[in-house]
Structure 1
Amino acid sequence: MASNELELLGQADQARVLDAVRRGATRRDLLGMLGAGGMAAATAGGIFGAAKEAVAQTPRRGGRIRVSGTSTSTADTLDPAKQSLSTDYARCNMFYDGLTTFDGSLTPRPALAESWQQEGAKVWTFKLRRGVTFHDGKPLTAEDVVFSLNRHKDPATASRARSLAMPMTEIVATAPDEVRITLDSPNADLPVVLATFHFHIIKAGTTDFSTAIGTGAFTCREFQPGVRSIAQRNPNYWQAGKGHLDEVEFIGIPDEQARVNALLSGDVQLIAGVDPRSVRRITQAQGHGVFETKSGYYTNLVMRLDMSPASNTDFVLAMKFMFDREQMRTAILRNYGVVGNDQPIDPTNRFFFPGLPQRPFDLDRARFHFQRSGVGSTSLPVVCSPAAPNSVDMAQVMQQTGARIGMNLEVRRVPSDGYWSNHWFKHPIGFGAINPRPSADILLTLFFKSDAAWNESAWRNPQFDQLLSAARAETDEAKRRQMYADMQVMIHNESGIGIPVFQSMLDGHVSRLRGLSPIPVGNLMGFDFAKHVWLEG
């Protein structure tokens, strides 16, 4: 709309208006300027609003911000291979680049690799971008890429991404600006894998990570593990139009209320991990706002198909029809989420299947299946914990709903401490909480493949496993899309996983901070905010 209002003016008048607004012209000033030419006040007012928005969305160089993540540790690292906390991801994204990067649909896009080709999804050739230099002035070469990728395979590196790197059986430089990667089996998602946090490119031979020498939009001025890092703008950054701020200080404040207090007091200008309950407090404070990223993050009901009562198909269906999804979205998430459909691919994912009929909240059908299950009035413990966000509230909603059909659910709340090791999918009925994953393949392989270590509901389907393997090797996008659609239908119909809602990720910020846009692998633009944001003048 803003651009349409400005288009009422000729090019010269547009430039004159935008310049005036940049220099601080008020609405009254602009009304006088445009009214002198006979323009109606309402039209002139609309142009002023459009001009202000256009100026605000024009990146401005300069300024400094302080940012808080959700965690901090003396084990904080600048070694891309050893990143384990969100603070590591945000920090390393300031200093390093990967061969590829994600857009808002989690489609891999060129970064240090300007292009790539594949043969049967098994042999991949990446052409490197020319003119890229490390922070110390050394040019990027294929040798750096080979070193960076191979070190993940070395057990001595203790890389967090070793399992993702091991299928790369050969990584060789075929030219100074070209790298060939051969896999042990076809994987059409290799560019997705290379866009994940751990596969940043470092200089060949690097062993000292007390500082960061990367190709990123910022250089490392200071790094104190467990305390802070300070990043300064890289004047030689290869990507035009990125890296606007002069300096970014990054810290970690684990307590959510303390983070909110730091934002509202002016101590920081951007925070990750805002609870929906805190949104009103932030948005009602002048000069502050909340940024929402719709994502694949979900807290799910886990019903073990190899344990009673979920070994009974009718019981599982009764529970799924009992989800009052809209109530959970509005009352628990305060509208910061989207309704789920008992399968894990969310609407932001490029392989989401919109044609799957939505399972409704239907107490009549829930009652029918529950009566057929023969479970009766037996007390059924539902294990929940604050460790699985919102699971306690969800369990209480289900307990109340279940009573309406004669189901006797007992909410059994356990402490956060030890939940994931002692309780997660160890009970007939409980909850999990699954962070966004960068690809459908990784998500489904980790949580739904028959032999997956984290197959929460113990659902096993050989046809699903075969389809998952075939989709990984398929390079035709349309065929892959249909395969993932078929898998979503299978999970929806057969698994013991109930996904009532996908939860948005929320960040708080000062209103002057511009340039935020969703990248749904995490808070803070997938932890890659620094190169994109700027401060409005």
Structure 2
Amino acid sequence: MSSSTADTLDPAKGALSTDYTRHYMFYNGLTRYGADLSAQPALAEVLESDDRTRWRAVLRKGVTFHDGKALTPRDVVYSLMRHQDPATASKVRPIAEQFRAVTATGPDEVMIELTGPNADLPAILADSHFLIVQDGATDFSQAVGTGPYRCAAFQPGINTIAVRNDNYWVPGKPHLDEIELIGIPDEVSRVNALLSGDVHLIIAVNPRSTRRIEASAGYRVLETKSGLYTNLIMRQDASPTRDPDFVLAMKYLFDRGLIRRTLYRNYATIANDQPIPPGNPYHLADLPQRAYDPDRAAFHLRKAGLAGARLPVYASPAADGSVDMASMLQEFAAKAGLQLAVNRVPADGYWSTHWMRHPLSFGNTNPRPTADMLFSLFYKSDAPWNESGWRDERFDQLLLAARGERDEALRRQMYCDMQVLVHDHCGVGIPVFISSLDGYDRRLKGLSPIPVGGLMGYSFAEHVWWEG
């Protein structure tokens, strides 16, 4: 997994898998994810609403922070509302703007009032960014949470040492006495460290390494099917990528089956240029699959006046598989009459220097637990990470309406309509959903998939044990 000097103990600022894993070690949320991404009770024994706008949370009694202080409603109020403060620099500030008010209404009770109804709030609150910190906490050189482990050492970009919290509120957990979390950015080095016994669990295994791991006695690969995707970004505020015919041409140039087989060794699921994966209850399964069709691509390129044109595309190892995807597109585009010049740029600085800054580039989006969260962060017209700059008033209206729709059949239809709009009009091409692959020592027990990400949705530390 990647790490950097920007590694943080502040859940609001988490940006990498190392951050998410670290935060689930030291903190808890009001809810937590089940294997099907349903929201399960955690610090809140009850989270209920009659209108999906006002939510009553009843806190679990007897929970203490690592310094011995009892969990109170004030901690919850502070933890949720701090995301709205620009100084916090929260990664989920756009989501937290839905909090109209969070107030303590009793010794163990909190009322969360939203700006509008949102049936997904319980699942949203299980996200690592919304984990509960102490009231008034601003110094995150240490982590003082209610989680299964206490922070014994933290060196950004180097390692984190977690030791068992003997006063954890979940009976019998955690099982391990100590965990050291380290960042090994290079995948080959991660695999070597696993197979040499230097580490016992690794994330982000390259599909090309799976045979080597499985062939080594005592080691296994855990596949987690997820909504992770690498996408082609066609900016809608630049030429020629704003042209609808250009967008369609590029989408027809994805040979999705080839990408699945050659890039991901079948550890992927065919996607259809919209971001809701098959495991999501709102996935639109009967949306006609867009197939590789160089003739149709050539037709749309001619219609856009781009036959014979030359265009740069930016790719980087930072966006998983994008360099190989770009090379494939370059070959197929040439057959359709478009000359793509692939600019491979380093992973370091890609997200700040190149992502969303060129007419044609690649992104890489981690799974999100709900359709609303994914659409709100990446596809709504004013979303902070609206990668292609796509704006659609109908989409925005459906998104807001779906949050509070009480008729589940109608709500599902709204999400299906949004997927059609993205598929047909958005400047984003999504060829496959990429499985998360973890490598592990067989003596490490208790691992199972939670499809929000690798390492059991980054929460493995609480659940695993060692049989040596």
TM-score by length of 2: 0.91
Equivalent residue letter for 2:121: L
Deviates more, 1:224-233 or 1:171-180: 224-233
Secondary structure of the structure 2 residue equivalent to 1:404: helix
Equivalent residue letter for 2:3: S
Q: Which residue of 1 aligns with 2:3?
A: 71
Structure 1: distance between partners of 2:86 and 2:241: 41
Structure 2: distance between partners of 1:146 and 1:239: 23
> Shift in Å at residue 303 of structure 1?
2.2
Secondary structure of the structure 2 residue equivalent to 1:169: strand
Q: Which residue of 2 aligns with 1:489?
A: 420
Q: Deviations over 1:355-395 (max 9, x none)?
A: 21211223343344344444222223333233322222112
Q: Which residue of 1 aligns with 2:39?
A: 108
- Select 1:276's aligned residue among 207, 212, 218: 207
**1:384 equivalenced with 2:338 (yes/no):** no
- Select 2:345's aligned residue among 409, 414, 419: 414
Structure 2: distance between partners of 1:431 and 1:199: 28
Q: Which residue of 2 aligns with 1:63?
A: none
Q: Deviations over 1:37-87 (max 9, x none)?
A: xxxxxxxxxxxxxxxxxxxxxxxxxxxxxxxx43143x5443334444432
Q: Which residue of 2 aligns with 1:351?
A: 282
- Select 1:330's aligned residue among 241, 258, 261: 261
Spell out the pairing of 1:428-439 with structure 2 (5 A cutoff): 428-439=359-370
Structure 2: distance between partners of 1:212 and 1:307: 44
Secondary structure of the structure 1 residue equivalent to 2:336: coil
**1:92 equivalenced with 2:23 (yes/no):** yes
> Shift in Å at residue 179 of structure 1?
0.6
Structure 2: distance between partners of 1:222 and 1:249: 9
> Shift in Å at residue 154 of structure 1?
4.5
Equivalent residue letter for 1:149: L
Structure 1: distance between partners of 2:303 and 2:154: 62
> Shift in Å at residue 265 of structure 1?
1.4
Deviates more, 1:111-120 or 1:481-490: 111-120
Query: Is the contact made by 1:82 and 1:159 (CA closer than 8 Å) also made in structure 2?
Result: yes
Deviates more, 1:152-161 or 1:450-459: 152-161
Query: Is the contact made by 1:72 and 1:254 (CA closer than 8 Å) also made in structure 2?
Result: no
Equivalent residue letter for 1:218: Y
Query: Is the contact made by 2:313 and 2:360 (CA closer than 8 Å) also made in structure 1?
Result: yes
Query: Is the contact made by 1:342 and 1:492 (CA closer than 8 Å) also made in structure 2?
Result: yes
Structure 1: distance between partners of 2:126 and 2:73: 17
Structure 1: distance between partners of 2:268 and 2:94: 32
Secondary structure of the structure 2 residue equivalent to 1:291: strand
> Shift in Å at residue 522 of structure 1?
2.6
Q: Deviations over 1:295-350 (max 9, x none)?
A: 21211112234444444433332322221101001111122211110001112223
- Select 2:221's aligned residue among 290, 293, 296: 290
Secondary structure of the structure 1 residue equivalent to 2:462: coil
**Pair 422,76 (structure 1): closer, same or farther in 2 beyond 3 Å:** closer
**Pair 401,211 (structure 1): closer, same or farther in 2 beyond 3 Å:** closer
**Pair 426,252 (structure 1): closer, same or farther in 2 beyond 3 Å:** closer
Secondary structure of the structure 1 residue equivalent to 2:232: strand
**1:185 equivalenced with 2:126 (yes/no):** no
Deviates more, 1:411-420 or 1:126-135: 411-420
Unaligned stretches of 5+ residues in structure 2: none
Equivalent residue letter for 1:233: R
Query: Is the contact made by 1:302 and 1:429 (CA closer than 8 Å) also made in structure 2?
Result: yes
**1:514 equivalenced with 2:445 (yes/no):** yes
Query: Is the contact made by 1:72 and 1:251 (CA closer than 8 Å) also made in structure 2?
Result: no
Q: Which residue of 2 aligns with 1:13?
A: none
Equivalent residue letter for 1:109: Q
Deviates more, 1:129-138 or 1:194-203: 129-138
Q: Deviations over 1:88-145 (max 9, x none)?
A: 3212211221101122333322111112222432211111123333344444332332
Query: Is the contact made by 1:72 and 1:253 (CA closer than 8 Å) also made in structure 2?
Result: no
Structure 2: distance between partners of 1:451 and 1:179: 30
Query: Is the contact made by 1:107 and 1:350 (CA closer than 8 Å) also made in structure 2?
Result: no
Structure 1: distance between partners of 2:159 and 2:297: 52
Structure 1: distance between partners of 2:186 and 2:28: 30
Query: Is the contact made by 1:288 and 1:509 (CA closer than 8 Å) also made in structure 2?
Result: yes
Query: Is the contact made by 1:293 and 1:520 (CA closer than 8 Å) also made in structure 2?
Result: yes
Deviates more, 1:452-461 or 1:92-101: 452-461
Spell out the pairing of 1:208-287 with structure 2 (5 A cutoff): 209-240=140-171, 242-287=173-218
**Which structure's CA Rg is the greater one?**
1
Unaligned stretches of 5+ residues in structure 1: 1-68
**1:427 equivalenced with 2:358 (yes/no):** yes
Q: Which residue of 2 aligns with 1:45?
A: none
> Shift in Å at residue 449 of structure 1?
1.9
**Pair 203,333 (structure 1): closer, same or farther in 2 beyond 3 Å:** same
Deviates more, 1:524-533 or 1:426-435: 426-435
Q: Which residue of 1 aligns with 2:78?
A: 147
Spell out the pairing of 1:336-375 with structure 2 (5 A cutoff): 336-375=267-306
**1:197 equivalenced with 2:128 (yes/no):** yes
Structure 2: distance between partners of 1:77 and 1:491: 34
Equivalent residue letter for 1:481: R
**1:526 equivalenced with 2:457 (yes/no):** yes
Q: Which residue of 1 aligns with 2:230?
A: 299
Structure 2: distance between partners of 1:418 and 1:232: 33
Q: Identity over aligned residues, as a percent?
A: 59
Q: Which residue of 2 aligns with 1:450?
A: 381
Structure 2: distance between partners of 1:78 and 1:407: 47
Query: Is the contact made by 1:70 and 1:272 (CA closer than 8 Å) also made in structure 2?
Result: no
Secondary structure of the structure 1 residue equivalent to 2:369: coil
> Shift in Å at residue 470 of structure 1?
0.8
Deviates more, 1:525-534 or 1:443-452: 443-452
Structure 2: distance between partners of 1:342 and 1:154: 35
Q: Which residue of 2 aligns with 1:7?
A: none
Equivalent residue letter for 2:168: Y
Equivalent residue letter for 1:508: G
Equivalent residue letter for 1:71: S
Equivalent residue letter for 2:11: P
Structure 2: distance between partners of 1:224 and 1:304: 38
